[in-house]
Amino acid sequence: MSSRPADIPVFLLCGGLGTRLGDVTRTRPKPMVEIGDRPMLTHVMDCYDRAGFRRFVLCTGYRADVISSYFLNFASLHSDFTVDLRGRQVAYHQTGYTPDWEVTVAHTGAKTMTGARIARAAARHLGDAQHFAVTYGDGLTDADLGEELEFHLSHDRLGTVLAVNSPSPFGRLELHEDGAAGFAEKPVRQDEWVNGGFFIFRRAFLDYLSVDEDCVLERDALPRLAGDGQLMMHRWNGFWSCVDTVPDQQRLSGLWEKGAAPWKC
């Protein structure tokens, strides 16, 4: 099976409640919250599109109907179209946003945890692929995910994770000798790396997962994988951000609307 980005499926975890976004997610899943003029989920997919990935499996749960409806009606939402009412035919003129993607919506259960979502979707939609990518529906980066794939293929471990520098949630105080304080607003620690949420796995990683509803990727599978020496870290010190709160969403929307979004294709 080919290891080209275009042939490697990307499993996106889209089933969480997104409770920290409050009323914004009352009627839709978190990945469908807008960044600028379209759902955040499509921005995440764009991050992969830049590197040539085009096969996406959306692991849905909470309000899966919103995601299903969006992609079933994608052409009419983003293009001009003409309807022949008598013949019941529709012609799309593709004047808008029309990426070359193959999108599979996989219903993985309303209360299913992250590890089980991947296991359930992969059982039905991985096919004969020997490698697959996994990410969340709320993280954006300007990282070269094709470069991460090349790094993954260069070693023989089961998994690769994008490691990123994340700003501290607190301003850092620096004490001067005379007692005066220096201040750095949410500094980035170059010596600290966190899980950026963009993974690539070999097929055998599925042995670490279970279709049982309570299988959590981050609690059950990844610690075991790392403990077995099977997880490699691909470092990226460029742009990375997740959307956990309304201010996060507003900040990234502002970047997008000003044409200053680092992740934009």
Query: Above 70 in pLDDT, residue 213?
Result: yes
Query: Above 60 in pLDDT, residue 134?
Result: yes
Nearest-5° angle of CA 14, CA 253, CA 62? 20
The top-scoring range by mean pLDDT among 55-59, 71-75, 94-98 is 55-59
- pLDDT confidence bin for 169, thresholds 50/70/90: low
Residue pLDDT, tens place only, 80-128: 999 999 988 999 887 778 899 999 999 999 999 999 999 999 999 999 9
User: So what's the pLDDT on residue 19?
Assistant: 76
Query: Above 80 in pLDDT, residue 178?
Result: no
| E strand spans, the chain | 10-14, 34-35, 38-39, 55-60, 81-84, 89-92, 102-107, 131-136, 139-141, 159-164, 172-175, 181-184, 194-202, 231-236, 240-242
Query: Above 50 in pLDDT, residue 226?
Result: yes
Residue 52 burial by Cβ neighbours in a 10 Å radius (0-12, 13-18, 19+)? middle
Query: Above 70 in pLDDT, residue 168?
Result: no
What integer is the mean pLDDT of 134-148? 96
What integer is the mean pLDDT of 181-185? 47
- pLDDT confidence bin for 177, thresholds 50/70/90: low
Mean pLDDT of the chain: 89
pTM to 2 decimal places? 0.90
